[in-house]
Structure 1
């Protein structure tokens, strides 16, 4: 067989794809839309690595590290302070700037420095501040908006960020609120390597998200199967042999695939522009981020048409095309099960050598992981036609709509299975990933130890802000139940310049606040308590003697350090330590304000712990606004019982973003597939209505034809997904546990997508039942 004959036959198929009149164009467009949706997602996937790299590059380029080597003031220095905040769970990046010379470095995205009491904001922050929802945030940022941050200074189109001008930041260097830099960025930054389990998660996420796309593309190139069979029979009637007929059919699929590439490019470019206006799971991008790798884009452009040709040739191998028809219309031979089990077994065989490897024995073999997961997921597409055929073959009597649906499925179970293959693969992969994420989540989550039953927010009071004034302002803030002001310092048994052998913490507060730290026998202003039972109180007992002289260290604004002597009073009471709001049992001494000396008071670091009533709308925002009024550079901390690894959260967020895109593809592709099948049966539906069949009966039969394969597909997907999830958990040396809520959730989402698609297909179904559906040309 020479290349010229292949080219001639494929070219004839291409002409058939676009020269078949209205029906041919509709068939080609449906195929192109189905393929195009998959191509758009493939192009998006090839652009993801570049988008993530660009986000990281821009984040590195605007870094303003103020720790490390101390820098002296000069014409090329800039004072800067981080003033990030949170508003309604949205992160707002804030920086306060004060240039110290004409050559001070300008942040990326700014054309000039904002003057004091001015700020430049991101477009998304400007929009929020201008809206009614941003009233509380405007109160917290009392600067005049004088400009917009350019794209080079932002990592995403929906990022909330601002740069504000200020004066006097050099006075805040001593309390670490501000720092001095000569340049933005971190030239020595090196990417942090993921541990083996996170790498496994990333690898599986990519495979699971791309597999449904491949399945949908393979299904889309087979649209118009019944009408194509008649055309192929006509070709045999005019003298073509079986091989030529199959090549012509492949050429016809190639035409739809090539048009699909064009549609996919258009969909991708439209989606690329649309991406700038949306944010998914706190991730947004600029259109310029989404530039596919030329090599990967070329691979997509070659692979999709090649796949269309190969899929068509493979599916026609078992079909006998004769001049009087295609034998597929007769009862086909029963599908065999044995070879369909080989794919999932091969997948398990690839993954088996890595069982129990965990994160301690190096990286997982990427090729085996990819091959094993692909084989298991492709096994779903191999098993589902056999299961659908076997099941519907045993279904019997019922209502008229039920019998119509069952008979249709018995005649074309393969087409029904093809329609649900993609969603079954997606659900199986999602279940496996959810099990894996749920299983390893504890390894990336730690307990903070904070006693959130006592306090939910905390505020470190700067040295220039009076602690009692801060406590009084916060106590009167809307949504605050109670305020516990505490301050502390460290006391040594000799001056700090002489390096004390023993040192203990001294906590200062009124009696009400001290009862949050210890169980007090009695308390009056002027009392001093020695704590028992603290977590770090081994040095307390030797120092707990009335008359003992201890020393605290005081640092002046100019950086000079002096020692302040303090003598323990007589009597010295004792108290039992309890868990304070930070979750720690303190040791050392407790002092009431009346027991302080003037010098010791100057060494204290103040803290305010707040009990917040979250039933009050925007209670935490009111607290943040009150703190900003006390000191624009200060930010309160909101506490939670647990903290999760940012890298783990990033992978999980990527999964959610990708899964959302795949679900949109699933819905759109299913709708196109459903409409194609209805179009194929338009004349049959119109004939049944003409003979008196009720529209309600036909509508129910269509619903049954969708529900039965989907139900079977979700069952197979659940079984395969739980199997894959269990294997992945064993690979990470994690106890196998079925996350039933996630299994039910993903199954429900898959079923929900199908319900929505079915409801959207009902209006076209009702139109196709009209008598004009009997027209033919």
Structure 2
């Protein structure tokens, strides 16, 4: 029977060949997407591990492995909005710890840089970047020490006595192997948290798997009715149920095996392009997008095995009785109990909206992922019942023949009607949820407008500066003069400490600093003083443009102001790259011990929204892929349904029914469940987003922008166009010869 199954699969005529090719293509797309997701998860973990050496000195120190300790200091720097990982080090002997990516640590006055950093140092004017690092470039850091090809990393060698006097450098005897995902006090601003990214990728995988499975299922059901008739005929001539199952399994395994091979080919083709996408803020090395042996074996064995199981389940009616195919009856209508999974998924998300989110990232994954998956499954399970209810209402309220035929047929078998559009419904749910979350996050944490004063204002907190004698008590006048002399710098302002009783006296609980009104007039992003004021009490927020705020006068003189400790240095610029980076270089040279260099309002916002930008990028990819897969699933389902009904449609045409009416019937049979499901999916998506936002971020849902509604309309129009693309097939398969050949 295995040989017969192979023969029927490979030499069973045009219909068998079309079914084999379509099934193999569907499996190939599904396998390709699955491999891409697995490789992406592996790449994120690999990239995260290569940040580990930059966490040296943070958290628990690694076990000592070197005889001579090394002085070590890590700083987060910036250039043109890009993060730079700066490592200052000094060896104390020949047996200092070995560092990844270089043969030996840099000596005093020597610099190692990543390839991207070396290119940046060569391209940028020295006063904007190179002057921050004393020394000469002597080597390039290898890939094994870099998270990605775009990583900006620089190592600077010092004398041991010089670096030890910085106040923040530490002595280390081994390089850290703990990634940011497992580090409780990692280097500020450097690295990604793979555990947080796991939440994103888990949702991505869940969002991709169901549409892909629906697509594969639609392809395997292509010409299902005709296959069942063929297998029933085999039973009538003496084939046993086991023999029929064997033939069916062989056909499915052959198609799925070809699909698996094609899927690996698709993965190989898209892998270079995938490496160029900055899912985590930097691109992947191509080698990072690798598959483990477990991944390969699981896909190679699991996919054909799953196809064999589906094939056996699909033939349960034939194996019970060979007459089961010809003696078809109307299936039992779906009941309202199908709404239970959808209600359970929404209830699970609502529960965490009431009690609050779990504390750990893994706990959040376990909390939200089952609820989102349950909602997606609930939409698929509830879809036939909703289709049945909607089609019965339509059939009762129409007198048009096409609408009546379509409504009665959908009411008779709503499962088949909804199955064709279920992939698009899931894609619409995923897209709605993603867009609603991103829109709300953007609305709650709006970036400074491009060109605003806040976007080009540099600020550095002195509370993070550590020197031998503690935080600085004065800001040199020479530093302020150097900053003021930079072209494009409007002025430099020192914010000074304000006692809490002063804030309370002025009823400004959010304010935190005294400022000189003469200096404030030069930094427009921070606002202005009241008329006649000499000193003001202001509230500083890095990402906010407060140029229109008038601050109240403070009850102290300018002489008293300069006796207070400085808490922040703010530099107003015109926002040009030259002005911002030259001023940053001057500040970095004045305070090299700051763990975080000065940042602009735009950079501060970019750091706070980095994780959501990853969500947005991944959501865009998921929605695009889901729509493509769902569109293919819809086209295959409609074409398969037409093939199964070629004889009834042919008889209708012979009896005088116009071809245009049959086209309207086909269009309505797909459009009705599509529109009903779309309304439910949009509502479920908005509700899921609201519950997630409320429990995770304590935000209220913001309505998506106009682009979302345009995308929904275009998506639905595209789906209807796919339905229309099957009309030529309807004309070909419903001629008189089709009825005669049956």
Q: TM-score range by the shorter chain?
A: 0.5 to 0.7
Residue 420 of structure 2: SS of its match in structure 1?
helix
Residue in 2 that maps onto 1:261: 260
Change (3 A) 1:456 1:365: closer
Find the partner of 1:344 among 339, 342, 345. 342
Find the partner of 1:714 among 678, 681, 686. 678
Residue in 1 that maps onto 2:599: 637
C-alpha deviation, 1:17, in angstroms: 2.9
C-alpha deviation, 1:718, in angstroms: 2.4
Residue in 2 that maps onto 1:662: 622
Find the partner of 2:491 among 483, 492, 500. 483
C-alpha deviation, 1:715, in angstroms: 1.5
Quote the Cα distance in structure 2 between the aligned partners of 1:99 and 1:765: 76
Change (3 A) 1:578 1:44: closer
Q: For 1:114-513, what aligned pairs fall within 5 Å after superposition? A: 120-124=112-116, 140-141=129-130, 147-157=139-149, 159-165=150-156, 171=162, 174=165, 181-185=172-176, 191=182, 207-208=206-207, 210-225=209-224, 227-229=226-228, 231-232=230-231, 234-236=233-235, 238-240=237-239, 245=244, 248-280=247-279, 282-292=281-291, 294-295=293-294, 298-317=297-316, 326-327=325-326, 332-333=330-331, 335-345=333-343, 347=345, 356-359=354-357, 373-392=372-391, 394=394, 414=415, 417-429=418-430, 431=432, 456-459=457-460, 467-472=476-481, 474-475=483-484, 477=486, 480=489, 482-486=490-494, 511-513=518-520
C-alpha deviation, 1:698, in angstroms: 10
For each residue in 1:289-341, what CA deviation from the matched residue of structure 2 results, as whole angstroms up to 9, or x when unmatched?
A: 4445555655555543343344344445468999899559x884463233423
C-alpha deviation, 1:262, in angstroms: 2.7
Q: Is the 8 A contact 1:424 1:714 kept in 2?
A: yes
C-alpha deviation, 1:623, in angstroms: 0.8
Quote the Cα distance in structure 2 between the aligned partners of 1:455 and 1:140: 17
Change (3 A) 1:40 1:649: same
Find the partner of 2:570 among 596, 609, 622. 609
For each residue in 1:138-164, what CA deviation from the matched residue of structure 2 results, as whole angstroms up to 9, or x when unmatched?
A: 95347987654322111234x321325
Residue in 1 that maps onto 2:509: none
For each residue in 1:250-305, what CA deviation from the matched residue of structure 2 results, as whole angstroms up to 9, or x when unmatched?
A: 44333322333333333334444443333236253334444455556555555433
Q: Is the 8 A contact 1:474 1:623 kept in 2?
A: no
Residue in 1 that maps onto 2:101: 109
Change (3 A) 1:18 1:44: same
Which of these two proteins has the greater Rg computed from alpha carbons? Answer: 1
Residue in 2 that maps onto 1:571: none
Quote the Cα distance in structure 1 between the aligned partners of 2:255 and 2:696: 46
Residue in 1 that maps onto 2:187: none
Residue in 1 that maps onto 2:581: 624
Change (3 A) 1:215 1:284: farther
Q: For 1:523-538, what aligned pairs fall within 5 Å after superposition? A: none
For each residue in 1:427-454, what CA deviation from the matched residue of structure 2 results, as whole angstroms up to 9, or x when unmatched?
A: 435655777788999999999xxx9769
C-alpha deviation, 1:485, in angstroms: 3.2
Residue 740 of structure 1: SS of its match in structure 2?
coil
Change (3 A) 1:384 1:260: same
C-alpha deviation, 1:354, in angstroms: 6.6
Change (3 A) 1:762 1:439: closer
Q: Is the 8 A contact 2:456 2:580 kept in 1?
A: no
For each residue in 1:634-689, what CA deviation from the matched residue of structure 2 results, as whole angstroms up to 9, or x when unmatched?
A: 8432236987997x964x566445534433442442354355457656998xx99x
For each residue in 1:711-757, what CA deviation from the matched residue of structure 2 results, as whole angstroms up to 9, or x when unmatched?
A: 33222212433555566678x49989554328x87776566556567
C-alpha deviation, 1:68, in angstroms: 10
For each residue in 1:233-255, what CA deviation from the matched residue of structure 2 results, as whole angstroms up to 9, or x when unmatched?
A: 55356444677546643443333
Change (3 A) 1:613 1:256: same
C-alpha deviation, 1:384, in angstroms: 2.0
Find the partner of 1:34 among 16, 20, 26. 26
Residue in 2 that maps onto 1:546: none
Residue 383 of structure 1: SS of its match in structure 2?
helix
Could you state the TM-score of these two structures normalised by the residue count of structure 2? 0.68
Residue in 1 that maps onto 2:503: none
Q: For 1:550-589, what aligned pairs fall within 5 Å after superposition? A: 577-579=537-539
C-alpha deviation, 1:629, in angstroms: 5.7
C-alpha deviation, 1:609, in angstroms: 1.9
Residue in 2 that maps onto 1:740: 703
Quote the Cα distance in structure 1 between the aligned partners of 2:455 and 2:437: 35
Quote the Cα distance in structure 2 between the aligned partners of 1:323 and 1:656: 52
Q: Is the 8 A contact 2:330 2:413 kept in 1?
A: no
For each residue in 1:513-558, what CA deviation from the matched residue of structure 2 results, as whole angstroms up to 9, or x when unmatched?
A: 49989968969xxxxx8xxxxxxxxxxxxxxxxxxxxxxxxxxxxx
More divergent stretch after superposition (309-318 vs 408-417): 408-417
Residue in 2 that maps onto 1:65: 57
Residue 154 of structure 2: SS of its match in structure 1?
strand
Q: Is the 8 A contact 1:517 1:579 kept in 2?
A: no
Change (3 A) 1:135 1:257: same
Change (3 A) 1:607 1:217: same
C-alpha deviation, 1:105, in angstroms: 4.0
Quote the Cα distance in structure 1 between the aligned partners of 2:295 and 2:138: 43
C-alpha deviation, 1:372, in angstroms: 5.3
Q: Is the 8 A contact 1:109 1:152 kept in 2?
A: yes
C-alpha deviation, 1:457, in angstroms: 2.0
Q: Alignment length, in residue pairs?
A: 675
Change (3 A) 1:11 1:120: farther
Q: Is the 8 A contact 2:28 2:260 kept in 1?
A: yes
Quote the Cα distance in structure 2 between the aligned partners of 1:659 and 1:521: 50
C-alpha deviation, 1:30, in angstroms: 2.0
Quote the Cα distance in structure 2 between the aligned partners of 1:506 and 1:365: 38
Residue 86 of structure 1: SS of its match in structure 2?
strand
Quote the Cα distance in structure 2 between the aligned partners of 1:123 and 1:653: 25
Quote the Cα distance in structure 2 between the aligned partners of 1:129 and 1:645: 23
Quote the Cα distance in structure 2 between the aligned partners of 1:701 and 1:121: 67
For each residue in 1:190-218, what CA deviation from the matched residue of structure 2 results, as whole angstroms up to 9, or x when unmatched?
A: 82689x99999887666455444444443
Structure 1, unaligned stretches of length 5 or more?
A: 1-7, 492-504, 524-528, 530-574
Quote the Cα distance in structure 1 between the aligned partners of 2:373 and 2:387: 22
Q: Is the 8 A contact 1:123 1:148 kept in 2?
A: yes
